[in-house]
Amino acid sequence: MKKKIELLSPAGDLERLKITLLYGADAVYIGGQEYSLRANATNFSIDEIKEACCFAHKLGKKVYLTTNIVFHNEDIDGVYDYLKQTYEAGVDAYIVSDPFIIAYIKENFKNVEVHVSTQNSTCNKEAVSYLKSLGVDRIVPARELSKQEIKEIIDECQIDIEVFIHGAMCTFYSGRCALSNYLTNRDSNRGGCSQVCRFAFDINTNQEEQEKFTMATKDLNMANHIKEMIDIGIRSLKVEGRMRSLYYLATVISSYRKIIDRCYDNTLTKDFVKQEEKILGRVANRETSTHYFNKQADETDQYYTGRQELSNQDYLALVTGYDKENKMLVLSERNYFEPNTEVEIFTPSGKTFDFIIEEIYDENLNILEKACHPEEILKIKFEEEIEQYSMMRIKVKE
């Protein structure tokens, strides 16, 4: 029997890692302090990597370490010690792009997988076969591949294939873009990408009033195609976003967890996917598309002028405990809310509770007119205790 498809989440720090595993990710990918393509994320120290692995392994889940920069000479010396330390910390796989690292890991470490990063933009069966011959265990192909191309690779190469299902997309082939180097002196292939593809440019046309030239892409959202991805034999579904917030990750992982599980127990309906798409739509601040999966990406997959990235205010509070004596949820406030707000609490185990807030109390049980101080401890009446790390958001209407 085929293994159940893996849901792979990003995690920028330990708190995010724990949340995302509790919310249903089967594995997480993280970056250490060096050699990862998100040099400006919080990232993990060696001790934190150890703690991350312990936490994940206790849950029967995995931790993959991104070591996917394109190395310069100066990066080489320290990497061998780093690999040894992180191997001993217990990582389950390295996500790499530079082939000398593949060879080194395979020669020196046992029982750890090597996954080739999308940074390599692996586009075809022959390139996959070549990487497989080097001992690579999994490949994250170029994000430019169609469903048919991915299927052909899986059918012919019989190697684990991981694909992105949600989050930001690069405009250019990964690895084939140095705009950030030239415009901002930040090395995109060593984790310094300054997202120049989201800048607005002037273009020399003959038009008198010319719109700015932009090339920014919409985000990826594959919620409606998970069943197809399972059917063609993809091994792992990856969410983008090591620098995203706790709420974003909890929401996205929770939605995809439910969709995947429903695919396997044959209870997935169009209405369910539609509702999850609404939830996913509200947590993101960009429009989404499926890009190359079923067609060549075109103008409908990009943004042009006049778009603003609005910050999302849906996330109202984190559930931090339960006051049994007074039958109240203990909350840590995140965004403004007031009595009579229609809310929804969603939990790591996938339950949801919809209700209207009647009264808001401070931690000393004084009634408040509104909740308007981020991280303030609040209480609201609630009949039952619910899991820690549950989150309260504005109810997403069906």
Partner 1 sequence: MNLGSESMEYVIIPSKETDIDKYKNQGIKTFIVGLKNFSTGYKTILDLEQIKKLSNEVNLFVAINKMIENEELKQLEEILLFLNNTNTKGILYYDLSIVSFHKKNNLKVNLVWNQTHMVTNYNTANFYYKENVKYGYLASEITLDEIVEINEKSKMSFFVNIISHPIMSHSKRTLLTNYFKASNISKEHENYLLSEKNNPCNFIIDEDKTGTTIRYGNIINGTSAIKKLLESKISYLVIDTSYIDDNVIIKVLPLLQDILTITNLEDSKYQQILKELEKILGSDTGFFYKKTIYKVKKGEN
Which residues ranging from 22 to 41 are in contact with partner 1 (CB under 8 A)?
39-40
52 vs 197, beta carbon nearer partner 1: 197
Backbone angles phi and psi of 204, in degrees to 5: -90, 65
- Pull the structure tokens for residue 386: 């619910």
Q: Which of residues 288-307 bind partner 1 (CB under 8 A)?
A: 292, 296-299, 301-302, 304
Options 15, 88, 211, 354; binder of partner 1; rule CB under 8 A: 211
How near is the Cβ of 206 to partner 1 at its closest, in Å? Answer: 8
Options 10, 24, 31, 175; binder of partner 1; rule CB under 8 A: 175
- In whole angstroms, give the CA distance from residue 2 to residue 14: 31
DSSP string, 12-42: SSHHHHHHHHHTT-SEEEEEBSSSSS-TTS-
Residues binding partner 1: number (CB under 8 A)? 74
159's CB contacts (< 8 A; 6+ apart) are 128, 132, 136, 137, 138, 139, 153
Q: Which of residues 100-129 bind partner 1 (CB under 8 A)?
A: 100, 103, 120-127, 129
Element (H, E) at 209: none
Nearest alpha carbon to residue 32 among 94, 74, 76: 94
Q: Which of residues 358-387 bind partner 1 (CB under 8 A)?
A: none
Residue 264 near partner 1 by CB under 8 A: no
Contacting range for partner 1; rule: CB under 8 A; set: 18-26, 73-81, 327-335, 369-377: 73-81
214 vs 290, beta carbon nearer partner 1: 214
CA 94 to chain centre: 17
- Pull the structure tokens for residue 258: 């439910």
264 vs 304, beta carbon nearer partner 1: 304
Residue 311 near partner 1 by CB under 8 A: no
Options 46, 51, 55, 75; binder of partner 1; rule CB under 8 A: 75
- In whole angstroms, give the CA distance from residue 122 to residue 141: 5
Options 131, 165, 317, 378; binder of partner 1; rule CB under 8 A: 131
CB count within 10 Å of CB 18 equals: 20
- What amino acid is encoded at 253 in this protein? I
Residue 355 near partner 1 by CB under 8 A: no
Beta strands 377-381 and 367-368 are unpaired
Q: Is the separation of the CB atoms in 222 and 290 below 8 Å?
A: yes
CA distances from 315 to 50, 80, 257, 286 (A): 31, 42, 19, 17
74 vs 383, beta carbon nearer partner 1: 74
Residue 72 near partner 1 by CB under 8 A: yes
Options 82, 87, 137, 192; binder of partner 1; rule CB under 8 A: 192
- What amino acid is encoded at 210 in this protein? Q
Residue 70 near partner 1 by CB under 8 A: yes
> What letter does residue 121 receive in the DSSP assignment?
-
How near is the Cβ of 168 to partner 1 at its closest, in Å? Answer: 15
Options 4, 84, 176, 274; binder of partner 1; rule CB under 8 A: 176
- Pull the structure tokens for residue 325: 């004596």
- In whole angstroms, give the CA distance from residue 244 to residue 249: 7
Residue 389 near partner 1 by CB under 8 A: no
Nearest alpha carbon to residue 108 among 128, 82, 74, 71: 82
Residue 230 near partner 1 by CB under 8 A: no
97 vs 221, beta carbon nearer partner 1: 97
Contacting range for partner 1; rule: CB under 8 A; set: 93-101, 228-236, 258-266, 320-328: 93-101
Residue 59 near partner 1 by CB under 8 A: no
Options 46, 178, 230, 232; binder of partner 1; rule CB under 8 A: 178
Residue 84 near partner 1 by CB under 8 A: no
Beta bridge partners of 367: 361
366's CB contacts (< 8 A; 6+ apart) are none
Residue 177 near partner 1 by CB under 8 A: yes
Options 187, 277, 362, 376; binder of partner 1; rule CB under 8 A: 187
How near is the Cβ of 324 to partner 1 at its closest, in Å? Answer: 42
How near is the Cβ of 9 to partner 1 at its closest, in Å? Answer: 24
Q: Which residue has the tokens 């807030």?
A: 357
